[in-house]
Amino acid sequence: MDVLVGAFPFMTANFALLLEKTGEHLVISLIPLLAAIVVGVPLGVWLGHIHKGEFLAVSITNIGRALPSLALIAILIGIVGIGMLNAMIALFLLAFPPILSYAFQAVDSVDADLTKAARGMGLAPMQVLTKVELPLGLPMIISGIRTAAVLTVSSATIATIAGSGGLGDVILNQVAYGMEGVIAAALWVAVLAILVDQVFVLLLKIASPAGVKHLQRAAVAA
């Protein structure tokens, strides 16, 4: 308990250090996350649109869950060496599976009657995708990115093993910062992950179709 209480004076005394490490932490987290979005969302959306590739999406997701980040970093040290690239590749491989899986399910699960009706109105396949499937699937796509973002931010602490910096430098260096510093940095990461999660909660509310929002308000009122 004394160590936990001592974490707060550490935060006050080392606020500039924690801010600097937070900046590094966000860079380490956001670059692989953005790369996973750029690759995973279009691939998942397209596979969902043509209703093929479920085995691929599920298999990649299961492999991503089975591979621990620490093991990935250890393997990559032998391939790309120690440094930020190592950590970013490992975090990309961590973020990619949920983004791909959610994007696939978001489009693949759109009611077939809606897409048939859209085609019956004369919409081309790409118009069906952009005007029907994507708007309806957007909340689930954002949910996948939200899952990946929280996972990436919370897992980026191990990037320090590859010499990449971030808040893991404090968490994994009890000798230099003491147990108070370790607890303070761990709390800092937890708050950071919660803040990232809440940003995506807000995006989900904005992205939800009007009909879904109405149903949600009705459910709360009931």
Q: Where are the beta strands (DSSP E) in 174-214?
A: none
Q: Which two tokens stand for residue 174?
A: 């009890």
Residues 6+ apart with CB under 8 A from 53: 47, 104
DSSP 8-state secondary structure symbol assigned to residue 133: I
Quick one: 31 exposed, middle or buried, by C-beta within 10 A (0-12, 13-18, 19+)? middle
Give the per-residue pLDDT at 80.
75
> Do 175 and 163 form a contact (C-beta atoms < 8 A)?
no
Segment holding 52, helix H or strand E: none
Q: Identify the CA nearest to 209 among candidates 136, 102, 119.
A: 136
Q: Is pLDDT at 21 greater than 70 in this prediction?
A: yes
pLDDT cut 90: percent of the chain above it: 24
pLDDT exceeds cutoff 80 at 2? no
Number of domains in the chain: 1
Q: Which of 106, 125, 108 lies closest to 116 in space, CA to CA?
A: 125
Residues 159, 91: contact at Cβ < 8 Å?
A: yes
Alpha-carbon distance of 80 to 105, in angstroms, equals 33
- The vertex-43 CA angle with 70 and 55, nearest 5°, equals 75
Inform me whether the pLDDT recorded for 217 exceeds 60. no
- Out of 23-27, 67-71, 157-161, least confident range: 67-71
CATH of the domain at 152: 1.10.3720.10
- Predicted pLDDT at 53: 76
* pLDDT tens for each residue of 54-84: 777 777 777 766 666 667 777 777 777 777 7
pLDDT at 220 exceeding the cut of 50: no
pLDDT at 222 over 60: no
- Domain of 64? 2-221
Residue 42 has pLDDT above 90, yes or no: yes
What pLDDT is attached to residue 104?
93
DSSP label of 81: -
**Positive or negative torsion for Cα 65, 71, 73, 78:** negative
Lowest-confidence segment of 54-63, 155-164, 185-194 by average pLDDT? 54-63
Over 50: is that where the pLDDT of 166 sits?
A: yes
Query: By C-alpha distance, which of 201, 70, 77 is closest to 145?
Result: 201
pLDDT > 70 fraction of the chain, expressed in percent and rounded: 87
